[in-house]
Structure 1
Amino acid sequence: MASIYRCKACGADLNLNAAHLYPPDTYFEAGNKGTLSFSWIDESKFRFTKEDKIRPFFETVDYWGIQRKRTRILCDACGRLIGYVYDDGPPIMEGHGQLGFGPSQVIPRRPRYRFKKKALDVIAS
């Protein structure tokens, strides 16, 4: 049974595949109840804008950062904000990082496409 993900505002098909959905017990999904994270998306269905905020945020339980760089995901059809791209996905390489500092600050990581559940219509087919 496959699910079809549509933009709630305009009804456009976003071509998201549940095979690329991260399981809810993944380390960065803990506590994120209102979102769905994907490892890959069809970028032709979206527009992206860069966002750079300087304020404290918790990256892991025992590590926090000051500057959060992320990219806003907008529906290509209507322009509504439906999620963000983060650079805190699984590591591209193995190891503990340069000099043992924080996890995603020095270890290159895969992008994580995080969508707001309230911005999506999920239709089970």
Structure 2
Amino acid sequence: MAYDPVLADRIRMVLAEELLGGELDDDEGDLGLVEEKRMFGGLGFMVAGHLAVCAGSKGDLMVRVDPADLPALVEDAAVEPMAMAGRTSKSWVNVAPEALDTETLTSWVTRGVAAARTAPRK
């Protein structure tokens, strides 16, 4: 298992409590559309067909964000823009494991879901 299973369980709990418990909404096209997929050496959580967050192998969290928020988000020492294949993303950040207490994890997962909801539909 390449992803951190403890972090994956924590993400599932956040999705169940914060989203499935009332915020996922058929008008948003979300109901029944939260799914898990292995990707990037981690476990991705998709909302309405778009990747929202991903549990990494070292306890880190990849999060989809609004590109307009990126400059402010990366001012936090625990947050950095995602970089893959030599390219820096404008809409993804990586959050260090030490910054993922329960309240902060909830905030990041909620942010990722919101960004996934606003992504163009496929």
If the length of structure 1 is used for normalisation, what is the TM-score?
Answer: 0.32
Structure number with the higher helix fraction is: 2
Larger Rg: 1
Structure number with the higher strand fraction is: 1
Structure with the larger RCO, 1 or 2 (CA within 8 Å, 6+ apart): 1
